[in-house]
């Protein structure tokens, strides 16, 4: 079971340090659940420093496929490794929708990060219009087709219509999608989409839900810690 917090473009270094100190305290006795936080690039170093010596991992929110080169604004797998990060998210729906990332690019990012020794959380999921059109399985099949099963790869199913909307897939919808994804690629699958302390236990209790990629609720340390603790009961 993995609970990862995607902070998106929130928390500079000072706020990150404060959060990580408190998270260390609240999760000091946590057992049986892997935990990761994914701060912005500018806050990765301080998160790595504050969480050193704990079982809480630090991952980036994106990664490029080249080790170096003329790619303004990008960060390579090797840079993340040198910094002490354990992994990276790739293919988040906001990267796809707002910044034009493609399935091919997501595949290249995942492959390069895995080859470099990073763990990868690769995001897949359909939009509301795609779900209403009955295209969910076609979308997931296409998005997963660029990924290859590896020990360090985890997929996150994030129905786009449930991200930041307050909506979340019912446990039954999540289970159905996760089972389908596992039929395509044999890796753990996290659920992402308005996960909160109130719904975490029921979602995480589904047979094919192996954890959560938490967005907004990961920005509050009490809320995020509560979801991590709920995972121990699932």
Residues with active-site annotation: 92, 158
Q: How far apart are CA 57 and CA 87, in angstroms?
A: 8
Question: What DSSP character marks residue 89?
Answer: E
Write down the H helix ranges in 6-135. Answer: 13-26, 44-50, 77-83, 93-99, 103-116, 128-132
Token pair of 210 as six digits: 């192996």
| Among candidate residues 218, 216, 201, the one with its CA nearest the CA of residue 20 | 218
Token pair of 131 as six digits: 């779900």
Q: How far apart are CA 120 and CA 185, in angstroms?
A: 14
Say how many C-beta atoms besides its own lie within 10 A of residue 116's C-beta.
17
Tell me the CA distances in angstroms from 25 to 2, 14, 131, 222, 225, one per residue in order: 19, 17, 41, 11, 10
Tell me the CA distances in angstroms from 93 to 61, 101, 139, 173, 198, one per residue in order: 12, 9, 13, 18, 24
The string of DSSP letters for 19-50 reads HHHHHHHHTTT--S-EEEEE--GGGHHHHHHH
Token pair of 170 as six digits: 């019912």
């Amino acid at each position: 079971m993995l609970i990862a917090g995607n902070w998106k473009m929130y928390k500079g270094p000072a706020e990150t340090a404060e959060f990580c100190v408190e998270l260390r305290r609240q999760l000091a006795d946590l057992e049986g659940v892997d935990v990761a936080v994914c701060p912005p690039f500018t806050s990765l170093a301080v998160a790595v420093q504050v969480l050193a010596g704990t079982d809480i991992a630090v991952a980036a929110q994106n990664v490029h496929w080249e080790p170096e080169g003329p790619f303004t604004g990008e960060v390579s797998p090797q840079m993340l490794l040198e910094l002490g990060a354990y992994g990276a998210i790739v293919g988040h729906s906001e990267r796809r929708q707002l910044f034009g990332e493609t399935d091919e690019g997501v595949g290249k990012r995942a492959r390069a990060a895995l080859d470099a020794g990073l763990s990868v959380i690769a995001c897949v999921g359909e939009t509301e219009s795609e779900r209403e059109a009955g295209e969910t399985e076609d979308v997931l099949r296409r998005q997963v087709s660029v990924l290859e099963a590896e020990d360090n790869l985890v997929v996150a199913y994030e129905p786009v219509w449930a991200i930041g909307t307050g909506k979340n897939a019912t446990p039954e919808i999540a289970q159905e999608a996760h089972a389908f994804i596992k039929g395509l690629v044999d890796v753990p699958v996290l659920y992402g989409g308005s996960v909160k302390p109130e719904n975490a236990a029921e979602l995480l209790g589904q047979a094919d839900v192996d954890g959560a990629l938490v967005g907004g609720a990961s920005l509050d340390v009490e809320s995020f810690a509560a979801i991590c603790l709920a995972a121990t009961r699932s």
